[in-house]
């Protein structure tokens, strides 16, 4: 085996590793299949509906804590306003 004939075998290792890396990168990243949300998605804008209902007013710092906080039992869910507690 001559010295020139084995040179291609040495070059095959880095070239194959580079090709495999590029193939896996393209496969997992999907860089050629990008989706432009802003251009390709149609969103119908509608007027905002609803009401603003004033529930309570706290002026100044009369109360040092928020009613219903979960500082002591932080693993317990805070009850939601409006009834649905799931």
Whether the per-residue pLDDT at 82 is higher than 70: the answer is no
String of DSSP letters for 30-86: -TTS---HHHH-------------------TTS-SS-TT--STTTTSPPPPTTS---
Most confident region among 18-22, 36-40, 81-85 by mean pLDDT: 18-22
Q: What is the pLDDT of residue 68?
A: 75
What is the pTM for the complete model shown?
0.33
Lowest mean pLDDT among 22-26, 30-34, 37-41, 72-76: 30-34
- What mean pLDDT comes out for the span 65-85? 70
């Amino acid at each position: 085996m001559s010295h020139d004939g084995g040179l291609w075998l040495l070059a095959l290792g880095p070239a194959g590793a580079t090709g495999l890396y590029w193939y896996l990168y393209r496969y997992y990243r999907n860089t050629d299949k990008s989706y432009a949300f802003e251009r390709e998605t149609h969103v119908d804008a509608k007027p905002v509906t609803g009401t603003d209902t004033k529930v309570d007013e706290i002026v100044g710092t009369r109360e040092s804590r928020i009613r219903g906080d979960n500082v002591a039992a932080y693993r317990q869910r805070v009850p939601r306003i409006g009834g649905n507690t799931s």
